[in-house]
Amino acid sequence: MKIKLDTRSAIPLSHQMGEQIRREVAAGQLRPGDRLPSVRELALELLVNPNTVARVYRDLELEGLLETRRGQGTFIGPAAAALAEKERLRLLRQALVRLVEDAQLFGLGREELLEMVQQVARERAWPPREEA
Amino acid sequence: MKIKLDTRSAIPLSHQMGEQIRREVAAGQLRPGDRLPSVRELALELLVNPNTVARVYRDLELEGLLETRRGQGTFIGPAAAALAEKERLRLLRQALVRLVEDAQLFGLGREELLEMVQQVARERAWPPREEA
Amino acid sequence: MKIKLDTRSAIPLSHQMGEQIRREVAAGQLRPGDRLPSVRELALELLVNPNTVARVYRDLELEGLLETRRGQGTFIGPAAAALAEKERLRLLRQALVRLVEDAQLFGLGREELLEMVQQVARERAWPPREEA
Amino acid sequence: MKIKLDTRSAIPLSHQMGEQIRREVAAGQLRPGDRLPSVRELALELLVNPNTVARVYRDLELEGLLETRRGQGTFIGPAAAALAEKERLRLLRQALVRLVEDAQLFGLGREELLEMVQQVARERAWPPREEA
DNA sequence: GTGGTCTAGACCACC
DNA sequence: GTGGTCTAGACCACG
């Protein structure tokens, strides 16, 4: 699990962490049953207070995404798989709408935008077809 | 000028307001010389404390985007036009990269993504070519 | 709002507080729009750390029971009225089942139990009919 | 002996176990001389760490409810019968008061409550008279 | 003044 | 070792 925090952002650290964990679950990089780093481990790695990590885990558990087993650690919960699909669509849709809104706002034509998408795709070495 | 605030977001209201004003300037919807609503007007409209609006205007003035003329109000500054182009590219690029990252993460093929872009464009009644 | 904490109980203070607030809402003693004591006030009154109160308020907000208005305080949310009816039935049902289970377990007859209920009702000066 | 644990409750597993054993003794389902499951058996059955079970047995022994005979196991102690009657009344009284309090709080009339008790009794196939 | 977030460090229940 | 709860006290955004 890879989490990057921007300590200078106005978005609270805990929200950044929660959002990134949700993304990894949505992407299938974290699957039901997977064990997350312990509160203390992750706190040490991110140079963050353990309480902050604990709060994130706790919130995600209330959401039904995580599950804690006393004395054993924190795990991706069984319901996560079902939530993942919804979340995936939500995130992609959100990114799409945001992009099209911006393009419209800035007076771009539809074709220019498509060309820009192609270009970024090429830069990022993204093949026309792919199954992750 | 249309601003929408999400009072439940973790992002401070002032940041939300600042960001949206910058977007409008970048989009050319606000141009140098345009007058902004008075602090009190905007505060009333957004149901926000006048202090908050005043802080946003002050910060944007420090950025060089706004200028205040005593007794007349707050206006888009002359430097705004120059800043707009940079900002435009920054925002669009950011939205593009975010979208492609998500698509890659979720195992979408390049063509599927392009199809989705087309679809959203159609939904939003966006013609193939357009100059705003 | 009257809250009593049992610091010797195994049940965490925050849960005790949350449960009692839920009960007051269910009982209609706290109604939508009512303002709760500020975090600091309640913490002082209950001799509890402000963080603990804040956590309770935050959790109840996630549940949809409370609503916070930045800089103004914490209030009973509009959805609380709807939740109250459900909660009311849940609590009463729970107390009933618990009682009947115990009575059965201890070999009481149905009529003996009814007599005990009558007796407790009399002790507590509870009239046969009442509309609160 | 039937014990159900709620691993998601804030109440420690050991308290839940202790309380349920006390209830079974109070109900006469466990009588002086009865042998309890071994620490390991019960731990296995409840999917709980043996240390936890051992601690519960030890605490109940200190209370005078259990006694351990070296090499033979853990048994309900002779004093349990005397404790049972007190406990029975305590538990029943507690459940009664709780119920009447709730009913009063929610504005129920005494007769409505009695009717609800009757209804639950019928649902649970509880005859008007019974000696367990 | 209000609540929100974060750090620091304690004690507890459980494995 | 694990997470859960609580205290203490800081700084920030908002009214």
pLDDT at residue A30 greater than cutoff 70 = yes
C71 touches strand F (CB under 7 A): yes
B51 touches strand F (CB under 7 A): yes
pLDDT at residue D106 greater than cutoff 80 = yes
Query: Which pLDDT value is given to residue D128?
Result: 66
* CA closest to A55 among chain C residues: C55
Beta pairing class for B73-76 and D66-69: unpaired
In this prediction the pTM is: 0.86
Query: Which pLDDT value is given to residue A129?
Result: 57
Share of chain A above pLDDT 90, in %: 59
How far is residue D72's CA from residue D65's CA, in Å, rounded to a whole number?
Answer: 17
Q: Counting beta carbons within 10 angstroms of the beta carbon of residue D122, is it exposed (0 to 12), middle (13 to 18) or buried (19 or more)?
A: exposed
Which amino acid, residue A18? G
Q: pLDDT (tens digit, 9 = 90+) per residue, B68-124?
A: 998 899 999 998 888 888 888 888 888 898 899 889 888 888 888 989 988 888 888
How far is residue A92's CA from residue D39's CA, in Å, rounded to a whole number?
Answer: 52
Of D12, D28, D124, the CB nearest to C100: D124
D52 touches strand E (CB under 7 A): yes
Q: pLDDT (tens digit, 9 = 90+) per residue, C20-71?
A: 999 999 999 999 999 999 999 999 999 999 999 999 999 999 999 999 998 8
Q: What is the DSSP secondary-structure string of chain B?
A: ------TTSSS-HHHHHHHHHHHHHHTTSS-TTPBPPPHHHHHHHHT--HHHHHHHHHHHHHHTSEEEETTTEEEE-TTHHHHHHHHHHHHHHHHHHHHHHHHHHTT--HHHHHHHHHHHHHHTT--SS---
Identify any residues that bridge with C67 across adjacent strands, giving them in sequence order.
Answer: C75
How far is residue A114's CA from residue B67's CA, in Å, rounded to a whole number?
Answer: 37
pLDDT at residue D69 greater than cutoff 60 = yes
